[in-house]
Structure 1
Amino acid sequence: MHAIVIEKPGDPDVLRWREVPDPVIGHDEVLLDVVAAGVNRADLMQRLGFYPPPEGAPEYPGLEVSGRVAAVGDGVTGWTVGDEACALLSGGGYATRVAVPAGQLLPVPRGLSLVEAAALPEVACTVWGNVFMLAGLRSGESFLVHGGAGGIGTMAIQLAKAYGARVLCTAGSEEKLERCRELGADVAINYRTEDFVEAARPVDVILDNMGAKYLPRNVAALGTGGRLVVIGLQGGGVGELDLGALLTKRASVHATSLRARPLDEKAEIVAGVREHVWPLVESGAVRPILDRTLPMAEAAAAHRTMEESAHVGKIVLTV
């Protein structure tokens, strides 16, 4: 098969389309012939050498794919050769084939193409697992997501709105703010010119990809009983936490990641997505937002686009 190989940590030009050995599936795994793969910021971090794959995962980047089942392990039920599916991965998605634990497979939602489906698993599992399973966002509460125009942001806006929350987001341009409003954001805040604390507080749940840079202001924006979930460190990993403010508000901070979780935890999140998110996708209430598609051999161009923040929604690579 072929895959995108990271020759050495560095800029996008280190990504090379190479012939590599085929994956070998285990007892509880499925082999997918990949049709498309979603691009995530974690892929950029891996390319730079800051986010290595967990032990046992393929060395190639790529955390979500769609494709067709080419083979199934002896212990797998419910999937047969030829089925169309999309999948959450620990790595290896930038390839023509990938082995997937059966618990991380999802059917392609009715009405979507395989290319569209590739834009869903990572963001849907991230949002459902963190905003709803961990932070427990409920109807009538307020929800703030940073980076509202990105892949996670566009999914978070739609899901939170579908579940009856008041939705706020941040973005860096008027064009992106308008796209967020179109997706359902009640309040869209330009982080370059506005103070999101003043515009948002008090808020019940915050989904944050910035980390240390936003930590004090996120805590300030929380209301009583508020929950902050940090899923990224684009703004650094070491910050000052005001425990007095948390105690006064009876608020909480959670820092979590999806990639390195045990298989059973991932399977639980995937099952929740299938039960609670897929019906909304099939009804049209939630949809994948595709900014552009590129051939997988042009992964370097996809990474440059993401680094420039020149996109809204997802970038997808096609085989």
Structure 2
Amino acid sequence: MKAALLYRPGGPGNFVLEDKPIPTPGAEQVLVKVKAFGLNRSELMTRKGLSPNVRFPRVLGIECVGEVEHDPAGKFKLGQKVAAFMGGMGRDFDGSYAEYVVLPQTLLYPFESHLSWEQLGAIPEMFQTVYGSLHLALKVKQGESLLIRGGTSSIGMLATQLAKKSSLTVLATTRKPVKAELLLHNGADHVLIDDGNLAEKVKAIYPEGVDKVLELVGTYTLKDSLRCTAPGGTVCMTGMLSEQWSLADFAPMEYIPATVHLTIYDSGQIRVEEQNFQQFIRDVEAGTIQLSISKSFTLSEIAAAHQFMESNSAGGKIVVLTGD
């Protein structure tokens, strides 16, 4: 099988496409024939050597969709469509940047769909992250206001759609004025140009601040996002587009405004139930949710795919198909 290995961290050119033996699943593992996978910023950070405890060589990839090739336990049927994400994929053990991958049974979500592999490849982690952030972490309610910081990212674009589906008022941000129309077309009620200081712009619309904030930029803008939030409101830090894991000299009493809540969402810790995943696929099939797919690549083009992701010009999910 073909697999993209990273022997040492660095630039996109460090990926090496190699022929490897198809792995054999052990107890409570399943061999999956990978059909497609989405790219994620966390993989870019791992590639750069910014992910703690990741050992090289490593096959990256924290998500995929494909078909069951072999399940020794017989829980999954041959050819059954499955999705997988997180749970150590591409970090603790080899991930989806390959034609086949061995995965723990517990990571697999079986599903049915007539969507293309390109469309399906965009869904697993993007859906889990958005749904989990909005409904498990932020616990959004009808009529609330939501600031999405990092609105043009694939997560931000989908979050806007799901938030509007739940009858929220959405304020979405972009650093580039030329992308304002994209956000409005996607359903945002207000577009704010993000220069790192949004609190005054937000409070010009909501004087007390917004009810909820989905923070996708990360630690770089987190303090300002907390200042955008109304008393009793909640900020969920989900993304790290700024590629910075931690805060220096974090003093909670000074950093977090009184009665404002700060939480995170990590699909590796808490997962959305399978039936919600299948329903989301049905919504995409019915056209009530529009997937934002920026560009597709093949596995042999993995270096170019990472270059494109690093250029920050995607404006949607980047998908890699394993077939040339």
Aligned residue among 62, 65, 81 for 1:84? 81
Instruction: Give the residue type in structure 2 aligned to 1:205.
Output: K
Partner of residue 224, structure 2: 217
Instruction: Give the residue type in structure 2 aligned to 1:254.
Output: T
**Partner deviation per Cα, 1:48-107 (whole Å, 9 max, x = no partner):** 11125779x99311112121221124162xx31112233224221111011233343334
Task: Give the alignment's TM-score, normalised by structure 1.
Answer: 0.87
Distance 1:69 1:227, change over 3 A: same
Structure 1 runs not aligned, ≥5 long: none
Q: Provide the C-alpha distance between the structure 1 equivalents of 2:13 and 2:57, rounded to a whole number of angstroms.
A: 20
Aligned residue among 189, 194, 199 for 2:192? 189
Aligned residue among 125, 128, 132 for 1:122? 125
Instruction: Give the residue type in structure 2 aligned to 1:82.
Output: G
**Partner deviation per Cα, 1:146-174 (whole Å, 9 max, x = no partner):** 22111211121111111111111111223
Partner of residue 280, structure 2: 277
Computed over aligned residues only, the root mean square deviation of the Cα atoms, in angstroms, reads 2.6
Q: Provide the C-alpha distance between the structure 1 equivalents of 2:53 and 2:296, rounded to a whole number of angstroms.
A: 24
Partner of residue 318, structure 1: 321
1:272-311 map, 5 Å: 273-274=276-277, 277-311=280-314
Q: How many residues align?
A: 308
Partner of residue 59, structure 1: 58
Q: How much identity, in percent, do the aligned residues show?
A: 29
Runs of 4 or more above 4 Å deviation: 52-55, 239-242, 244-247
Instruction: Give the residue type in structure 2 aligned to 1:169.
Output: A
Partner of residue 19, structure 1: 19
Q: Provide the C-alpha distance between the structure 1 equivalents of 2:276 and 2:253, rounded to a whole number of angstroms.
A: 33
Distance 1:106 1:114, change over 3 A: farther
Q: Provide the C-alpha distance between the structure 2 equivalents of 1:58 and 1:31, rounded to a whole number of angstroms.
A: 20
Q: Provide the C-alpha distance between the structure 1 equivalents of 2:129 and 2:263, rounded to a whole number of angstroms.
A: 14
Instruction: Give the residue type in structure 2 aligned to 1:3.
Output: A
Q: Provide the C-alpha distance between the structure 1 equivalents of 2:44 and 2:26, rounded to a whole number of angstroms.
A: 28
Distance 1:180 1:107, change over 3 A: farther
Q: Provide the C-alpha distance between the structure 1 equivalents of 2:180 and 2:279, rounded to a whole number of angstroms.
A: 27
Partner of residue 261, structure 2: 252
Structure 2 runs not aligned, ≥5 long: 204-208
**Partner deviation per Cα, 1:97-118 (whole Å, 9 max, x = no partner):** 1123334333456442111101
* Post-superposition offset of 1:242: 5.7
Instruction: Give the residue type in structure 1 aligned to 2:224.
Output: R
Task: Give the alignment's TM-score, normalised by structure 2.
Answer: 0.85
Match of 2:109, SS state, is strand
1:63-212 map, 5 Å: 63-74=62-73, 76=75, 79-89=76-86, 90-91=89-90, 92-107=95-110, 110-192=113-195, 195-201=197-203, 202-212=209-219
* Post-superposition offset of 1:256: 4.6
Q: Provide the C-alpha distance between the structure 2 equivalents of 1:47 and 1:53, rounded to a whole number of angstroms.
A: 13
Instruction: Give the residue type in structure 1 aligned to 2:79.
Output: G
* Post-superposition offset of 1:120: 0.7
Q: Provide the C-alpha distance between the structure 1 equivalents of 2:112 and 2:312, rounded to a whole number of angstroms.
A: 28
175-184 or 46-55, larger mean C-alpha shift: 46-55
Q: Provide the C-alpha distance between the structure 1 equivalents of 2:150 and 2:320, rounded to a whole number of angstroms.
A: 22
